[in-house]
Structures are given as C-alpha cells and as structure tokens.
Structure 1
Amino acid sequence: MNLPLLFNLLAFLALLFGLAQTRHTNWSLPKKVLLGLALGVAFGLVLRRIYGTESSVLKATSPWLNLVGDGYVELLQMITLPLIFVSILHAIARLRTARSLPLISVLSIGTLLLTTAIAALIGILLTNFVSFAIEAWTPSAQLFDPFQFNDKSQAFESPDLNIPDTLLSLIPSNPVGELPEAKSSSIIGMIIFAVFVGLAALRLGNEDAKKGRRALWAIDTLQAWLIRLVGVIINLAPYGVLALMTKAVVNANLQDLIGLGSYVFVTCLGLMLMFLIHAIILAAVGVSPLHFFRNVWPVLTLAFSSSSSMASIPLNIDVQTRHLRVPHSIASLSASFGATLGQSGCSGLYPAILAVLVAPSIGIDTLDPQWIAAFIGVVTLTSLTVGGGALMPIVVLTVMGMPAVLVVLLIPVEPLLAMGRTALSVNGSMTAGVVTSQLLKDTDKPMPAGDESATLSHT
C-alpha cells in the first residue's frame, strides 16, 4: 500500500472515529447526519485539491469509501423488502376493516401521480422558457436506436409496452424468491403479497377471534423485532453519508457540469419549484411546510447521498410516524408506493426536460396544449409501471415517437442530478403520506394498544 493511499485511509478513519464520538453527546440523529454530510463534502474537496480528478490514488481510495458508503446502502436494501412486507402486513392486520385500505391507497397513489404530472408540466414550461439549444446533438438523434442503451457498455431488451401484460407481471409467482431482489417490480410484488396476507389475517380474526389474536400477536412481535433491527442500521446513517458524500464530491466532473450548465440549471430550478409545490400542497391540507421540512431533511439527505429511493424507505417510515405523526399504515404504504411509482423527480421532471430538448429535431411544438396534455398523460401512466431511472425517459420518449439519444449524451452530469431527483421523489412520497393522513383526519391520533412498535427507537 503506497503512502498517499495510507494517508487517505488514516484521514478517513479519523473522520469516522471523530463522528463516532458524537454518541457521547445528546445530539439527535439528524444533527449527526448533517455533520457526516459536511465532513464528507469537506474531505472530498480536500482530496480533489491534493490529487486532482484523474489520480490513481483516488481510484485506489474509492473502494475503501465504497466499503462504508455502499456497504451502508446494501444494509438498508437488505432490510427494505422484509420491512415493506412486515410493515404493510402489520398495518392491514391492525385495520378495523379492510374497507380502509382502498381509500388509503387511492389517496396516496393519487397524490404521487398528481405531483408527477405537475413536475412534468414544470419541466416542459421551464425548458421552453430557458430555451437553450442542442443543435450540435440533434443529427445523431435521428440515427439512434433507443433500445440499445442501458449504460456505455451494455444494452437492454426492448421494453414491453403492453399494459395488461406489464400489470400481470407485477403479481409475484414466488414471493419468497422476490426477497433477494432490489428492483421496483420486487417491491410492487411484495406489496401485493403483503396486502393479501394482511387481508387473510383480518378475515381470520373475524371468523375465529382466538386464532385472530394469536396471529396478531405474532405479527406484532415480528414487527417489533424488525423495527429494532432497522433502528440499529439507521443509526449508522452518519457514517454512510460521510462516505457517500466524499465519493460523490471526488467523482464529480465539474467540467461536464459547466459544459452542460443550462441543462443543470433547468433541472435544479425545476427541483426547487417542485419542492415549493410540495410545500403548497402541504399548506393546503393544513400542515406547516416549515415543520415538515425541519423533520424530513435527514431522509432527504440520505436519499440525496445514496441516490436510492428504496434505501430511504426505513428512515422514511420512521420520520413519518415519529415526527409527522402519520399512522403507520399510511406511512408504510406511501413510502413503499413512492419508491416504485409516481416519482416526481425521476418520472416527471426528468423525461419532460429531455422531451423538450429533443423535440426541435423532429419538428414538435412543445407549447402545443394537445401535445403537453398527451405527454403528461403518458408520463403519469408510465410512472405506474416503469418507475424511475434511465428506463423511464427512454420509454416515454419512445412512446411519444421521439429519439432517446440525450439519455446517453447526458451521462456525465447525471450522477449528481439523479441525487437531487431522488431526494425530490422521496420528498413526494412523504408528502403523499402526510396529505393522506390529513385528508383522512388520522394525523396525531393515538396508536392502538400494542402498536408502540410502529415507530423506530433510536438508541
């Protein structure tokens, strides 16, 4: 091991050790996460200053950063599907009647789809208003096959746009086999399985009270056990954020950001406007936006640094139940749904900006009300089955008859922008939970007896 690499590792270990000393203070987890974020940014900037951007020393350092940062994300993903299954099972089993479930689902999903549609509209209008050109990129757009892209070295099969078959594929034929997976379809399949198991528990309780109580006790015990595990892992968040932010700053290509400044500007402006829209929606249902954002920013920090909606689910549910007083049934569903569909940042804003950028190359008037309405409809419906990520804009642009070459050309700046879009999407899922709770007048209601495990305990 060379001396510069050894120096980097010792400095990183010193930061981790210093961060660990906060356990002797009365600091809350959000403050520790903020400190981890600040230390990560500062350490990343120092490394860039000392070694530059293409240093072999930094390349050798990255795996050690990944050990902590990506390791933390892997731990979160390890418990995500079991947490979704048990949380939804517990929430449904605790319902007095199954009739509450459709209403909660409709309100949560409806809020997610509404914010996705608004995000798409904002993306269209903003990009038209800023009106930056991409003429240098459009010639290749006509020759590009959108189904040959996944990343710079791989291809993926053409997505099946048959809606009935897509919906059918979401029903898990082997729910236990879904547990090792970490993809949107796995989450949806696990939600479906948990809903049916929960409904069966409700029916069992109605038909045989004694067995119903035993089943509910077993579900409560499993829920409490898993919540303790989640609490242990979430307490590692400051260390994971420190490593993730160091890696993000070290790997950020500032030249690419400058070269595509207009696209970056429009995306960032769109993100800020959508956070404002979320605040307006919250205010409309009687929730203080200041109180909301003061409590959810640790979740946004984790979503931003990890670029993972799924990894944010445990902390998402925790913050909704502990600090926003959203019932556990609503928090579980909104967090789970928000990780797979109706993502305003990844499913709404992202494809809308790309669509307006490539439209001039094929003569589309992106201010035509009919085109805008059709595009928003496609985005909203597609977000139900495709989810976010690079596949979402490719499918949307293809359905609208537009080239998807920009998904490839914008790869250099995507990692940082994807972090912001993920944070917005996770914020949308929490907004959906709070809105649903407010509309059902369930906020701040005391939890049923024996349901104290619905919130995470931080030690």
Structure 2
Amino acid sequence: MELWLTIAVIASVIVVAAILFWMQRKHLSFSVRVLTALGAGVALGFILQFFFDPESSVIVNAMEWVGIMGTGYVRLLQMIMMPLVFIAILTAFTRIKAAKDVGKISGLVIGMLIVTTIVAGAVGLTSASVFNLSADDIQVGSAEEERGASMEERYANIEADSLPQQIVQLIPTNPFQDLTGARATSTLGVVIFAAFLGIAYLGVRRKETEAAEMFEKITGAIFSVIMRVVTLILRLTPYGVLAIMTSTVATSDLGAVTTLGTFVIASYVALGVVFIIHLLILLFMGLSPIQYLKKAFPVLAFAFTSRTSAAALPMNIQTQKKLGVPEGTANFAGSFGLSIGQNGCAGVYPAMLAFMIAPTVGQNPLEPGFIAMLLAVIAISSFGVAGVGGGATFAAILVLSAMDLPIALAGLLISIEPLIDMGRTAVNVSGSMVAGIFTSKVKKDLNHDDYRNDELRIDGMESNS
C-alpha cells in the first residue's frame, strides 16, 4: 500500500510539472510560470501534510524522488556557480574602460552592501525588541541540544581565532582549492583571486596591447560559454521551484512553526522592513520600485525557495542587466553579494539572536554601548559569509563569539531554520541587486530606458537560444 501511495505522491508532482511544461509551450511568461510553480508547490505541500505525517515513509521516499528535480536543479546551479563567479569578475575587469573605475565600482558596491547590512542589523534588533524575544522562552529538545553541541564543536576554531586572524584567513592560499568550494569563505577567495588577475590584466593592457586583446577574447569566449550553460539551466527554474517548495512544505514541522511562531513572525517583519528599505532606496534615486519588483520577482522567488543566494547568482546578474546595470557592475555586485554584506543572513539574523541571548549572560541588549559594538561586529563579520544554505549560522557564530555570547544557544531554532532561511536568502539577493543599481546610478551609467522597459525581463533569456 505504501508503495502505491508513494507513487501517487510522485505522480501528483509530475502532473503539475506537465502543466508547467504546457504553459511553457503556450509561451506564458517566465514570471507567471515561476509564480504558478511557487503557489502549486505550497498548495501541494499542505495537501500532503493533511494526509501524511512529514516523517512518514511515504513522504520521505516520495520526496527523495522529487528531489531529483528540485535538489538536482540546485546542484546544477551550484555546479556553475564558482566558474561563473570567477569568470564574471575577470570579465568585469576586461570591460572596464579605465583602471580607476575598478576601485570606484568596488568601493560603491561593497560600501552599499555593508551600510544596508548595518541597517538590517538595527532593524533585526528593533524587531526582536518589539516582539520581546528571549532565548529563555524556547523549549530545548534533543534536536536543539545536538545542534548546539555540533555548532560548538564545528566552530571551536572560529571562536578561538582573533578578529585579525579571521580577516587574514579570508585571503586564499590555494585559489584552485577555493574553486572547489572547500572552505566556508571559498567564494570570497575566488573573488579575491579573480580580482588580482583582473588588476594584472589592466597593467598588461597598458604595456602589451596584443597580449591584453588576446586575453580579453579568451575571457569573453569562456564567459559566453558559461552564460550559455546558465541559460540552459535557468530554463528548468519553474520545475525546480515546484519540487523544492513541495518538499519544503510537505516535510516541515508545522508544530514547531506554531510553537516558535513569534520568532518566525518577528523575523519576517524585520526582513519585510529591510526589503521595503531597498525599495525606498530605489525611490530616493528616482527609480520605480514597482518596475524593480516586476523584473526581480523570478530571481527573488527562486532565492526564496532554494535558500541559496549562490545558486541564484546567474539570475541575479541577468536581472541586473535587464534593469539597466552595465554588465561589469552587475558582475561585481552579484559576486560580491555572495560573501559580503548579506542583509538577511549577516544582518537581521545575528542581531536578533544576539538580542535574545544577551540576557542569559546578564547583558542588557538595549544598552547603547552593546548596540554600537554589535552593529560594528556585524559589519566586519559580514565579510566572508557563505552564500549557500547555512551561511546565516556561520555569520551568527562569528557575531556571537565576537560578542562573548553562548554559541550553543543559536541551535535552539533548528526546527524553523529552513522556513526563516527562505526569507533571509531573498533579502540577501535583493540587497546585492540594489547595490548594483545604486552603483550604476551614482556612476551615471545606468540605462534608464532598459530599467523602464517591461519587455526586458529574465523571460527573454529563453529567446536567446
């Protein structure tokens, strides 16, 4: 009986996937198909919750097969992520006219990412205060205790390292190892290595024109091939979103969500406020937030469901280009945003945890000195946060250890971590895109016609085949 029920669950997902394929054949827009997949995945997940226990063998076995479509899609994007980060940064240098522009673009992008992360930290503190969150109110079970112990063991070396040592460790000693994603900070290591190659190219361009031209052609050719691979993978987005969302909802512990509902609500209130701040920044620059929402929806929806801003990088860069951001700036903003100044993971989340945990050691989290120190630590610790699932935990460990707060208490929220991580990731991606738009606006090279053009959306990638 269980076998037939498992087959029925898998078949239900396949039927919805077939509908999405039919929508594609009818040339319905990419955004509509992603939204349909998102809604259908949520609905299907809740239906499965009604009939089956999330830990039942039927759901476990069925979701393993569904994972071929969902997890497989994410793994394909992760496969191309490191090569894309490397070649995107390198290509950005070859398409910059003057060497002085590199420093200006990098400074503006990183500056915007850090400032918005500090603001996000302040928003997280405020939300935690308004909802009166406290670690004492959370019930500790065996899963939470195991997670806390695991975090203490895994990050013991991080806690032992001084801040200067942590900064030095961001510098890659073996860039080829970082290209495999071997370290938590591998993404930033690849960015640094590619940046050094790019700076070297600018020096060669001044003295050896022919060599520079050949290098530019080779780099451009590799970039074109990588982006072609990206295009092929992105066509699978609606199916990936459907599978990921179905699995997430069907396997979620709704009881834990209810028990820790206040933290979930406080988190999404804070993340919503940060996202509104992103829109206000655009409005302040004289740009339409509505137009941004229209074009950014597919990548934000994917980031929300996949919980990995690294896998969303290809869509991130393409969306920025559709919004009128020059390719070089889009490459910088998207790549830097993977490991620097993630508004959700490195800003909101560590600040809320610090507010909750501080009273357990007799620290008043509303003291001005504590708040100032916390925001400073958040800004510094936001460098090197991994742009994959678990990056928020890494950021929280860095912040809590720097503030001398108990690390193990961060494991109390394990049961609702996936649900919160969805919103955090979407805000991370939005922050990097806004940084790219802001930089282009300040440099006066933002294409306003492209920004306003409704026809220039990520949907158009499919017609470029």
With structure 1 as the length reference, what TM-score do the two structures score?
Answer: 0.91
Query: Partner residue of 1:98?
Result: 99
1:15 aligns with 2:16: yes
CA–CA distance in structure 1, aligned partners of residues 449 and 92 of structure 2? 15
**Residue deviations 1:284-330 (CA, integer Å, cap 9, x gap):** 22221111111111111111111001001010001001x21101111
CA–CA distance in structure 2, aligned partners of residues 45 and 370 of structure 1? 45
Matches within 5 A, 1:123-202: 123-136=124-137, 148-150=149-151, 155-159=154-158, 160-181=160-181, 184-202=184-202
For residue 246 of structure 2, give the secondary structure of its aligned residue in structure 1: helix
CA–CA distance in structure 2, aligned partners of residues 12 and 383 of structure 1? 38
Change (3 A) 1:331 1:343: same
Are the counterparts in 2 of residues 76 and 233 from structure 1 also a CA contact under 8 Å? yes
CA–CA distance in structure 2, aligned partners of residues 131 and 232 of structure 1? 47
CA–CA distance in structure 2, aligned partners of residues 196 and 360 of structure 1? 45
Are the counterparts in 2 of residues 146 and 398 from structure 1 also a CA contact under 8 Å? no
CA–CA distance in structure 1, aligned partners of residues 181 and 270 of structure 2? 32
Are the counterparts in 1 of residues 342 and 385 from structure 2 also a CA contact under 8 Å? no
Query: Partner residue of 2:29?
Result: 28
**Residue deviations 1:178-220 (CA, integer Å, cap 9, x gap):** 2222755221111122122222333333223233222222222
For residue 151 of structure 2, give the secondary structure of its aligned residue in structure 1: coil
CA–CA distance in structure 2, aligned partners of residues 117 and 83 of structure 1? 28
**Residue deviations 1:330-360 (CA, integer Å, cap 9, x gap):** 1111111111121111111111111111222
Greater displacement, 290-299 / 17-26: 17-26
CA–CA distance in structure 1, aligned partners of residues 58 and 140 of structure 2? 39
Query: Partner residue of 2:313?
Result: 313
Letter matched to residue 371 of structure 1: F
CA–CA distance in structure 1, aligned partners of residues 177 and 449 of structure 2? 37
Give how far 1:135 is off: 3.3
Query: Partner residue of 1:115?
Result: 116
Matches within 5 A, 1:197-276: 197-276=197-276
1:458 aligns with 2:462: yes
Give how far 1:139 is off: 11
Change (3 A) 1:380 1:13: same
**Residue deviations 1:22-67 (CA, integer Å, cap 9, x gap):** 2222222222211111221122122222223332100111111211
Query: Partner residue of 2:72?
Result: 71
Give how far 1:118 is off: 0.7
1:420 aligns with 2:423: yes
- CA RMSD in angstroms, aligned pairs only: 2.4
Give how far 1:136 is off: 4.7
CA–CA distance in structure 1, aligned partners of residues 367 and 210 of structure 2? 63
Change (3 A) 1:136 1:34: closer
Query: Partner residue of 1:335?
Result: 334
- Percent identity of the aligned residues? 34
For residue 430 of structure 2, give the secondary structure of its aligned residue in structure 1: helix
1:395 aligns with 2:398: yes
For residue 99 of structure 1, give the secondary structure of its aligned residue in structure 2: helix
Greater displacement, 265-274 / 278-287: 278-287
| Unmatched 5+ stretches in structure 1 | 448-454
1:358 aligns with 2:357: yes
Greater displacement, 28-37 / 160-169: 160-169
Give how far 1:167 is off: 3.1
**Residue deviations 1:366-411 (CA, integer Å, cap 9, x gap):** 2221211111001111111345321221221222122233321111
CA–CA distance in structure 2, aligned partners of residues 235 and 75 of structure 1? 12
Count of residues paired in the alignment:
446
CA–CA distance in structure 2, aligned partners of residues 201 and 303 of structure 1? 33
Query: Partner residue of 2:283?
Result: 283
CA–CA distance in structure 1, aligned partners of residues 408 and 172 of structure 2? 34
Query: Partner residue of 2:82?
Result: 81
For residue 172 of structure 1, give the secondary structure of its aligned residue in structure 2: coil
**Residue deviations 1:236-266 (CA, integer Å, cap 9, x gap):** 1011000000011101211111111211111
Letter matched to residue 157 of structure 1: A
Give how far 1:145 is off: 12
Are the counterparts in 2 of residues 108 and 333 from structure 1 also a CA contact under 8 Å? yes
For residue 157 of structure 2, give the secondary structure of its aligned residue in structure 1: coil
Query: Partner residue of 2:454?
Result: none
Change (3 A) 1:386 1:79: closer
Letter matched to residue 5 of structure 1: T
Give how far 1:150 is off: 2.9
1:430 aligns with 2:428: no
**Residue deviations 1:104-125 (CA, integer Å, cap 9, x gap):** 1111111111111111111112
For residue 205 of structure 2, give the secondary structure of its aligned residue in structure 1: helix
Are the counterparts in 2 of residues 304 and 422 from structure 1 also a CA contact under 8 Å? yes
Are the counterparts in 1 of residues 343 and 428 from structure 2 also a CA contact under 8 Å? yes
Change (3 A) 1:138 1:23: closer
Letter matched to residue 115 of structure 2: L
Change (3 A) 1:36 1:139: closer
Are the counterparts in 2 of residues 147 and 156 from structure 1 also a CA contact under 8 Å? no
CA–CA distance in structure 1, aligned partners of residues 49 and 384 of structure 2? 40
Query: Partner residue of 1:451?
Result: none
